[in-house]
Structure 1
Amino acid sequence: MTKLDENPRWLAVTALAKIKNGAYSNLQLNQLIREHSLDRRDVNLLTNMVYGVIQHRLTLEFWLKPFVKRPKQLVPWVHELLLSALYQWQFLDKIPQRAVFNETIEIAKVKGHPGIRRFVTGVLHQMDRSGLPAFTTIEDPDERLQVMYSMPKWIIQELRRQVGQDKMVAVLASLNQPAKQALRVNLDQATVADVQAELETAGLSVEPSAVAPAGLIVTAGQAVNTAALAAGRLTIQDESAQLAVDALDPQPADRVLDACAAPGGKTTQIAAALAAEQGGQVTALDIHTSKVKLIAKNAARMHVANRVAATQLDARKAQSEFGDAQFDRILVDAPCSGLGLMRRKPEIRYEKQLADSLNLQQIQLAILAAVAPTLKKGGIMTYSTCTILEQENQAVVEQFLATHPEFELETTPTKQGLKADRSTKTLTIYPDDYLSDGFFIACLRKK
């Protein structure tokens, strides 16, 4: 076994205990990877274990329950150690059970006292002898789905109501698959083909996105340390997230408002389509100083800073700040519950309640109403979220239109003709459609 401080299994347990206590999974992982000298294989195992345990937490808890009499008395790291052993044993078929158990017991021995080592050893051996409980023992069908897919019951029931049983199950199954490594090429600096060739020369396996025209998918290797990323020829951005700006379709001389802009991925995408010499500019808002600095930093890295005005402002004060009819196009990528990101940020599923969506709906409507007067007649306002619940999507658009007769809904365009046969003018991308993030986009034209 490698030194414990550099052991990906122990680092995963450390991260999981902190995430259970409220830390963000992606930030914890990035911090651990920065602080420890891990090779690519160890980084992959660490990442897989952290996201895997979070994704399957309700399943793993169900399997563990019969073998731990007083779970609330367990030291948090010991609890996470047992869940991570279960995850490796049941979900990682390339690691032999013997290796999983031996490493888990060794961590318990080095990190804990002899009583902890004996306890962990006893639990693992008992699981092996008795076998794990079957899902079929759960009588309530929704509770069974909750445990099988590790998804809170309220999400299961709300999705069933909105999309039907079959689609709901397909969405749940897809959310426990690994997230794709998606990139957006900075078309202001390079072509998709050139960046693909550059990444392949650097040893990565890359294919064009079937969803976003400027998108690339890395199927082997890591783009995060490449020269192309450092030089601003590409950025890390999900395929679905790229569609909002494609639908907005900014023109070179446009003045654009990005009302909820941080960290600036969509801002830089808008800016890449603008021409500073023709007066094209995107005003990017956020209420936090630190996030405004982040937008500016991203704009500089992507070589579009001369077209970006990063501004600290609550979007709900846009009219008093800018006046009426100032912008040709507006993007409202609204604050939302983020349930479309559950593959990428798996802890979201345990943190949100239906009430959160209803509260956010009021904020979303307030932002749309506040920025609407700043749009010129004939201009387009694109509303987008990274959630899949109609409360924050279709319902928001319908309520906005009911109180703003000067706007009309247009069909959301996509350059790849996605869901061309849909019956709605808005576009909802579910996580199982293209294995990208869940996303919603609506285009509203001011008459």
Structure 2
Amino acid sequence: MLSPRAIAHKILLHIEQESGYPDRLLQSYLDRYDNLDPRDKGLITELVFGVLRWQGRLDSIISRFSSVKLKKINPVVRIILRTAIYQILFLDKIPARAAVNEAVKLARESQPDYVVRFVNAVLRRVSDNIESLKKVDKTNLTASGIAEIYSHPKWIVDAWVKELGTEETAELCRANNKTPPTSIRVNTLLTTSENLAEELRRAGIEVQPCKYAPDALEVKKGHFNLQRLEAYEKGLFQIQDEASQLVAHILTPRPEERILDACAGFGGKTSIFAQLMENSGEIMAVDLSPWKVATLEENLERLKIGIVGTLQTDVRKLNEMNIKPFDRIFLDAPCSGLGVLRRKPDIKWKRRPGDVYRLSLLQRDLLDSLASLLRVGGVLVYATCTLLNIENSEVIESFLQNHPEFCIEPISDTIPWMKVFARGPYFCSFPHRHGTDGFFAARLKRIK
């Protein structure tokens, strides 16, 4: 049986070398080693997400105390060092000596003696300097200081400072390093919030209503894998961040309408549309990824939703088909994902500045291609889970310049209960302001 630290190491190495979704990869390992003590599962989760969140700062410490340049250190060894330093720096309940000894033991399983000695020497130096490493001057922060202290790439910090200012950028980066809450959405087609909360309570899960989204519950205490619960298998709830739920409500779909969910992904928002439509009408859910469409179909079957037809294709090809115009269109556009760094901290280390510009061009292209598919009087909602203007407001401004047949409908006017999220005419949620993931949405109406 692998130790918790060895399992965390395998997960982190996989993410470093082969990419992947950290949460799904973590869950697959927890399922594989299901007989682990809950405390060990908790340690694995803490190590995986903690190391990913603080990778920049951890690497800076390695560079300071290593005689070998960071890029020349074998990834296997680099992750051993990151994981041990994270424990030494952030996990007060784990003695530094234990973190060092476990790291050396892990290194000895795959590395030659001179590398084991190297690991031991670096970690001993870190341990000897731990008090000075924990002291951080957070006064008069610059962009460089924010990037170093809160472990974000400087190009991201620079972009946020330009748009939000230095003080708010520091708050945002700080919030990105916190563990996000787990939120679920009640499937109102099958149950109520009260009945679901009672059923979960009997299963040992404590929940409370979320602050903003209707029919949303926050898990306060419970299960490592909510998907194993009987209530989940019966389709009574969907795991989904509160902000992700909120942007779906901006479409305001009605029963008997015809809806297009472009770039539907796993179908989280698709199923909200079906609930708001009372499972009556027609939804076309489109995504380019075959495995996402397959997962979407499985999810819809579990939720007992019967009004959705799926299509695996590029939404830009829909114009080539003889399709009747839709009443409402929702575009959850591919984006840099910089609004969900609490849940997917690996994104900030994989993204590059050029990615944002490239994605903004794709977003404009997708939005342009959907314009003709909406009937006059219909509503189009554009949404992303990023916090950069180039992918958000600038995309909308460009679209409106090229499409005078559309106008923007301010969020605070059309959906008054979302006024707290209004930023100009747009919906904007922030981790540091609202305690949710970061999302952007614009509601557009075709007027001619």
TM-score, length-scaled by structure 1: 0.92
Q: Secondary structure at the match of 2:417?
A: coil
Name the residue aligned to 1:240. Answer: 243
Tell me, yes or no, if the aligned pair for 1:210 and 1:416 is still in contact at 8 Å: no
Question: Is the 2:88–2:127 contact (alpha carbons within 8 Å) kept by the matching residues of 1?
Answer: no
The corresponding residue for 2:55 is 57
Aligned to 1:254: 257
- Letter in structure 2 aligned against 1:307: I
Unaligned runs of 5+ in 1: none
Matching of residue 437 in structure 1 with residue 440 in structure 2: no
- Residue 312 (structure 2) aligns with: 312
Residue by residue over 1:229-267, the C-alpha shift from the partner in whole angstroms, topping out at 9 and shown as x without a partner, is 111111111111111221111101111000111111111
Give the Cα–Cα distance (whole angstroms) in 2 for the partners of residues 73 and 9 of structure 1. 23
Aligned positions of 1:10-49 closer than 5 A:
10-24=6-20, 25-37=22-34, 38-49=36-47
> 2:6·2:106 contact (CA, 8 Å) conserved in 1?
yes
Q: 1:439 to 1:113 in 2, by over 3 A?
A: same
Map residues 402-417 of structure 1 onto 2, 5 A cutoff: 402-412=401-411, 417=417
Unaligned runs of 5+ in 2: none
Deviations 1:89-121 (A, max 9, x none): 111122232332332233234444443433333
Corresponding residue to 2:66 among 60, 65, 68? 68
Q: Do structure 1's residue 157 and structure 2's residue 158 form an aligned pair?
A: yes
Partner AA of 2:257 in structure 1: D
Q: Does 1:142 align with 2:143?
A: yes
Closer, same or farther: CA 244–129 of 1 in aligned 2, 3 Å: closer
Name the CA shift for 1:55/1:363 in 2 (closer, same or farther; >3 Å): same
What is the DSSP-based 3-state SS (H/G/I as helix, E as strand, rest coil) of the residue aligned with 1:229?
helix
The CA distance in 2 between the partners of 1:359 and 1:107, in whole Å, is: 41
Q: CA deviation at 1:75?
A: 3.0
**Cα separation, partners in 2 of 1:27 and 1:421, compared to 1, 3 Å:** closer
CA distance in 2, matches of 1:444, 1:130: 56
Counterpart in the other structure of 1:226? 229
Q: Which residue matches 1:395?
A: 394
Q: What does residue range 206-225 of structure 1 map to in structure 2 within 5 Å?
A: 206-222=207-223, 223-225=226-228
- Provide the secondary structure at the position in 1 that maps to 2:245: helix
CA-CA distance at 1:40 after TM superposition: 1.9
Shift in CA distance, 322/429, structure 1 to aligned 2, threshold 3 Å:
farther
Q: How many angstroms apart in 1 are the aligned matches of 2:65 and 2:48?
A: 22
Alignment of 1:223-372 (within 5 A): 223-275=226-278, 280-304=281-305, 306-323=306-323, 326-372=325-371
The AA in structure 2 aligned to 1:250 is P
8 Å contact 1:15–1:28 — kept in the other structure? Answer: yes
Residue matched to 1:182: 183
Answer yes or no: is the 8 Å Cα contact 2:286–2:315 preserved in 1.
Answer: yes
Aligned partners of 1:195, 1:175: CA distance in 2, in Å? 30
SS in 1 for 2:378: strand
Identity of aligned residues (%): 34
Q: Secondary structure at the match of 1:408?
A: strand
Alpha-carbon separation, structure 1, partners of 2:394 and 2:128: 52
Higher mean displacement: 68-77 or 187-196: 68-77
2:272 partner letter: Q
Contact 1:334–1:384 under 8 Å retained in 2: yes
Q: Please, what is the CA RMSD of the aligned residues?
A: 2.3
Q: TM-score, normalised by structure 2?
A: 0.92
**Residues 1:421 and 1:12: Cα distance change in structure 2 (over 3 Å):** closer
Corresponding residue for residue 105 of structure 2: 106
Give the secondary structure class of the aligned counterpart of 1:183: strand
Q: Verify the 8 A CA contact 2:421 2:427 in the aligned structure 1.
A: no
Residues in 2 aligned to 1:368 and 1:119: alpha-carbon distance in whole angstroms? 53
**1:197 lines up with 2:192 in the alignment:** no
**Partner deviation per Cα, 1:329-382 (whole Å, 9 max, x = no partner):** 111111111111111110111121232222212211222221121212211111
In the TM superposition, residue 313 of structure 1 has moved relative to its aligned partner by 2.4
**Residue type matched to 1:69 in 2?**
S
Give me the whole-angstrom Cα distance separating, in 2, the residues matched to 1:19 and 1:200. Answer: 35
The answer to whether the 8 Å contact 1:211/1:434 transfers is no
Deviation, structure 1 residue 419: 4.0
The answer as to whether partners of 1:188 and 1:273 remain within 8 angstroms in 2 is no
Distance in 1, matches of 2:264 and 2:128, equals 54
Equivalent position of 2:425 in the other structure: 425
Partners of 1:211 and 1:416 within 8 A in 2: no
What is the alpha-carbon distance in structure 2 between the residues aligned to residue 66 and residue 245 of structure 1? 46
- Report deviation, 1:34: 2.3
Deviations 1:399-439 (A, max 9, x none): 11111111111122687824448451111112212221110
Tell me the alpha carbon deviations over residues 373-396 of structure 1, each in whole angstroms, 9 at most, x when there is no partner: 121221111110011101111111
* Rounded Cα–Cα distance in structure 2 between residues aligned with 1:264 and 1:241: 11
Distance 1:109 1:356, change over 3 A: closer
CA distance in 2 between counterparts of 1:43 and 1:320 reads: 50
